[in-house]
């Protein structure tokens, strides 16, 4: 309105429809918009046709209510206000609509944003990289070695992982349209659920072909980038957060679904490949699979399977830890036996070497079957060879006299052999009795004898093969001695490193002093581990500390495709 002009006396400002408003009353299309109109944010503010006013005449105390409905709305209504002073004619709520001005503004904003997006995609060089990269890549995905892999497959920079960066404008638009109705739709992005970046995963498995499997019973495959977050800085790749593991393993519904799926799958899909010659403790997979609901190790992790199900060591070797550690046994080099005397770390330090007779037992347990000839020791490790040795004793005694005792004369050697064989016959009556005594005797004795030339070490008296081994008779044939099978790994689904636990004594985790039979499994319990591996203990206690998401490839699946094929 120009300066100096005023509206007519009957002009109702509240009824004026302003074209610059962003919202219009929803009843406008019906020809009867409300007087107050929508709020600036587009909410209906309609209540009633008027706001009654109180009228108090002179001499009255309470007064009455007067209808204030304007003339163009029909004037005061016949019924008038309600006794409580509210209007008797309410207005129904409407759904405000955008004005033409607001619609034009919205279209303009969308167009401007689209133009800016097209310009940003068209940028190249350092400016583009600085804009689209939230942070530098980790050292695992940078450097000459990674560049060499990228060039090998004909890509570089972002294209090594982000296939869309190699597309032209038409390809980018097509990818965006496809993403809009799948995993990258706005509705899915704002809701908590495992995101699916399967196209990027194809780039991941091109180099990490052996990291593409999880348990066959997993309900929904999770994308690599959900757990492995890149662009977090130039250091090491960001550690996998425990919440990612708990998102599935702490969800009872997902674990139930995994259990049901696993029951319908072939058991061969859960068999794990192991290195040739590695002895694994036979811990069968539970019928429902490993689907216990777990939120964290220190809170609700179940007891280890070997202890929870009270497994026994099936090794046939007869051994008593308690006697060797705190029993009445000879001292080794003047000291009591300790765990480290027999259990020594392997080259990696993570696991222990196998205990062998030659390296660990012979120093105390010499196989002197003839107590009068202490240097004559029965060969160990081959029952056939041991039997042949016993049946050629005259030759063995003669060789011992010449090589060890230095007897040179034939008559002296013959006399030595005759004396020793006579002593054996007197003790065992016959050669067959000697063999039977050597193989099947299992007498327990604490007698010791000092071996000449062995630095004064006290060695246990030889009692017989059956003292330590399971010996199976076979009539007149050579008895069979069951080979000891000491497990190299007790928990195949977990990882452990002894080198990181050297600050504590072995007895803190292994109750060896209480073990009296080979069947005892003296593995540490969850309770003993939680002492350190918990927020209170301070040691790492995340899932990935002991477990890996990427299980080895099942034995029934074909080998992974070549990297070149995956990048096509």
Q: Would you tell me how many other CB atoms lie within 10 Å of the CB of residue 207? A: 19
**pLDDT, the chain, mean:** 80
Supply the pLDDT for residue 386.
Answer: 93
> Are 255 and 363 part of one and the same domain?
no
Supply the pLDDT for residue 291.
Answer: 92
Is 399 part of any domain? Answer: yes
Q: Of 118-122, 133-137, 444-448, 495-499, where does the model show the most confidence?
A: 495-499
The full DSSP string for 323-357 is: HHHHSS---BTTB---GGGT--B-TTSSSBPPP-I
Our count of domains for the chain comes to: 2
Model confidence at 445, in pLDDT bands (50, 70, 90)? very low
Supply the pLDDT for residue 567.
Answer: 31
Residue 348, token pair as written in the block: 């990696």
Supply the pLDDT for residue 177.
Answer: 67
> Are 144 and 254 part of one and the same domain?
yes
Give tens-digit pLDDT for 450-465. 433 334 345 667 888 9
> Are 164 and 265 part of one and the same domain?
yes
Give tens-digit pLDDT for 211-246. 767 778 888 777 888 888 888 888 888 888 888 889
d(CA 447, CA 547): 48
Supply the pLDDT for residue 395.
Answer: 94
Provide the 3-class DSSP secondary structure of residue 143.
coil
Q: Would you tell me how many other CB atoms lie within 10 Å of the CB of residue 142? A: 12
> Are 252 and 369 part of one and the same domain?
no
End residue of a domain, out of 466, 490, 519? 466
Closest CA to 490 of 227, 279, 297: 279
Supply the pLDDT for residue 103.
Answer: 84
> Are 158 and 260 part of one and the same domain?
yes
Give tens-digit pLDDT for 324-344. 998 877 777 778 889 999 999
Give tens-digit pLDDT for 281-312. 988 999 899 999 999 999 999 999 999 999 99
Give tens-digit pLDDT for 387-397. 999 999 999 99
Is 48 part of any domain? Answer: no
Is 86 part of any domain? Answer: no
Model confidence at 526, in pLDDT bands (50, 70, 90)? very high
d(CA 248, CA 184): 21
Give the lowest-confidence range in 353-367, 414-428, 444-458.
444-458
pLDDT at residue 20 tops 60? yes
Supply the pLDDT for residue 196.
Answer: 54
Supply the pLDDT for residue 76.
Answer: 85
Contact 316, 533 (CB under 8 A): no
d(CA 188, CA 199): 17
> Are 266 and 360 part of one and the same domain?
no
Sign of CA dihedral 346, 352, 353, 357: positive
End residue of a domain, out of 441, 466, 491? 466
> Are 253 and 381 part of one and the same domain?
no
Supply the pLDDT for residue 424.
Answer: 83
Is 435 part of any domain? Answer: yes
> Are 384 and 263 part of one and the same domain?
no
Residue that wins the pLDDT comparison between 427 and 84: 84
469-475, long-range: CB < 8 A, 24+ apart: 469/316, 469/317, 469/318, 470/316, 471/439, 471/440, 473/440
> Are 361 and 255 part of one and the same domain?
no
Rounded alpha-carbon distances, angstroms, from residue 125 to 130, 131, 147, 158, 552 = 9, 10, 18, 12, 41
- The model's pTM: 0.66
Is 330 part of any domain? Answer: no
d(CA 301, CA 493): 14
Q: For the chain, how many residues are written?
A: 568
Residue 419, token pair as written in the block: 């004396």
Enumerate residues 6+ apart whose C-beta is below 8 A from 305. 283, 286, 311, 491
CA 464, chain centre distance (Å): 48
**Half-sphere exposure at residue 452, Cβ-oriented, CA atoms within 13 angstroms:** 8
The full DSSP string for 94-109 is: ---EE-HHHHHHHHHH
Model confidence at 374, in pLDDT bands (50, 70, 90)? confident
Contact 179, 185 (CB under 8 A): yes
Supply the pLDDT for residue 562.
Answer: 35
- Tracing tokens 């070490």 back to the chain, one arrives at 457
Q: Rounded mean pLDDT of 367-372?
A: 84
Rounded alpha-carbon distances, angstroms, from residue 57 to 8, 52, 60, 64 = 32, 16, 6, 9
Supply the pLDDT for residue 456.
Answer: 39
Q: Rounded mean pLDDT of 380-393?
A: 93
pLDDT at residue 558 tops 90? no
Is 291 part of any domain? Answer: no
Enumerate residues 6+ apart whose C-beta is below 8 A from 29. none
- Tracing tokens 């005061």 back to the chain, one arrives at 76
Residue that wins the pLDDT comparison between 317 and 558: 317
Residue that wins the pLDDT comparison between 320 and 333: 320
Give the lowest-confidence range in 110-119, 284-293, 500-509.
110-119
CA 504, chain centre distance (Å): 26
> Are 259 and 371 part of one and the same domain?
no
Contact 209, 117 (CB under 8 A): no
Residue 261, token pair as written in the block: 């799926």
Residue 217, token pair as written in the block: 């019973």
- Tracing tokens 């890509």 back to the chain, one arrives at 155
Is 158 part of any domain? Answer: yes
Give tens-digit pLDDT for 141-196. 887 777 777 666 666 667 777 777 667 767 777 776 666 555 555 666 556 555 55
End residue of a domain, out of 270, 294, 309? 270
The full DSSP string for 496-563 is: --GGGGTTS-GGGT--GGG--STT---PPPHHHHHTTSSTTT-S--SHHHH--SSPPPPTTSPPPPPH
Enumerate residues 6+ apart whose C-beta is below 8 A from 415. none
Give the lowest-confidence range in 264-273, 426-435, 490-499, 532-541.
426-435
Is 59 part of any domain? Answer: no
- Tracing tokens 């997006």 back to the chain, one arrives at 117
- The one-character DSSP state at 137 is P
For the chain, the C-alpha Rg in angstroms (whole number) is 44
> Are 265 and 363 part of one and the same domain?
no
> Are 255 and 375 part of one and the same domain?
no
pLDDT at residue 137 tops 60? yes
Enumerate residues 6+ apart whose C-beta is below 8 A from 426. none
Its domain, for residue 201, covers 132-270
Enumerate residues 6+ apart whose C-beta is below 8 A from 131. 120, 123
């Amino acid at each position: 309105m120009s300066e100096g002009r005023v509206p007519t006396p009957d002009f109702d400002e509240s009824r004026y429809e302003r074209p610059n408003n962003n919202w219009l009353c929803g009843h406008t299309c019906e020809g009867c918009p409300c007087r107050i109109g929508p709020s600036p944010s587009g909410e209906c503010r309609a209540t009633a046709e008027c706001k009654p006013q109180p009228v108090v005449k002179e001499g009255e105390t309470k007064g009455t209510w007067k209808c204030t409905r304007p003339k163009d709305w029909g004037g005061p209504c016949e019924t008038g206000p309600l006794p409580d002073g509210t209007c008797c004619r309410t207005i129904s709520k409407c759904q405000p609509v955008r004005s033409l001005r607001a619609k034009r503004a919205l279209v303009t904003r969308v167009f401007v944003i689209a133009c800016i997006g097209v310009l940003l995609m068209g940028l190249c060089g350092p400016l583009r990289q600085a804009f689209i990269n939230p942070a530098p890549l980790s050292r695992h995905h940078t450097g000459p070695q990674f560049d060499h892999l990228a060039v090998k497959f004909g890509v570089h920079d972002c294209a090594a992982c982000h296939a869309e960066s190699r597309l032209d404008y038409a390809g980018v638009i097509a990818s965006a349209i496809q993403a809009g109705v799948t995993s990258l739709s706005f509705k899915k992005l704002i809701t908590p659920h495992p995101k699916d970046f399967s196209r990027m995963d194809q780039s991941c498995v091109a180099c990490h072909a052996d990291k593409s499997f999880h348990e066959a019973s997993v309900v929904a495959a999770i994308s690599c980038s959900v757990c492995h977050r890149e662009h977090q800085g130039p250091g090491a790749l960001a550690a996998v957060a425990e919440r990612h593991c708990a998102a599935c393993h702490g969800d009872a519904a997902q674990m139930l679904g995994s259990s049901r799926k696993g029951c319908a799958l072939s058991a061969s899909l859960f068999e794990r490949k192991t290195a040739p010659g590695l002895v694994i403790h036979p811990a069968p997979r539970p019928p429902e699979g490993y689907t216990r609901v777990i939120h964290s190790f220190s809170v609700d992790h179940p007891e280890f399977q070997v202890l929870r199900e009270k497994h026994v060591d099936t090794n046939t070797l007869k051994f008593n830890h308690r006697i060797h550690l705190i029993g009445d046994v000879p001292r080794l080099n003047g000291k009591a036996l300790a765990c480290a005397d027999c259990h020594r770390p392997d080259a990696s330090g993570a696991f222990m070497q196998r205990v062998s007779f030659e390296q660990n037992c012979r120093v105390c347990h010499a196989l002197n079957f003839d107590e009068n000839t202490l240097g004559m020791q029965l060969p160990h490790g081959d029952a056939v060879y041991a039997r042949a040795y016993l049946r050629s004793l005259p030759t063995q005694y003669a060789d011992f006299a010449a090589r060890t005792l230095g007897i040179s004369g034939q008559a002296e050697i013959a006399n030595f052999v005759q004396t020793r064989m006579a002593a054996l016959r007197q003790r065992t009556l016959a050669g067959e009795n000697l063999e039977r005594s050597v193989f099947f005797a299992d007498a327990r004795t604490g007698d010791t004898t000092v071996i000449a030339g062995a630095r004064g070490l006290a060695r246990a008296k030889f009692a017989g093969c059956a003292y330590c081994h399971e010996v199976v008779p076979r009539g007149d044939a050579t008895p069979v001695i069951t080979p000891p099978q000491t497990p190299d790994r007790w928990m195949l689904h977990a990882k452990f490193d002894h080198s990181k636990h050297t600050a504590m004594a072995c007895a803190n985790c292994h109750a060896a002093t209480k073990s009296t039979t080979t069947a005892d499994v003296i593995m540490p319990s969850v309770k003993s581990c939680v002492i350190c591996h918990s927020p209170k203990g301070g040691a790492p206690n995340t899932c990935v500390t002991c477990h890996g998401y990427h299980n080895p490839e099942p034995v029934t699946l074909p080998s992974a495709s070549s990297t070149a094929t995956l990048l096509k």
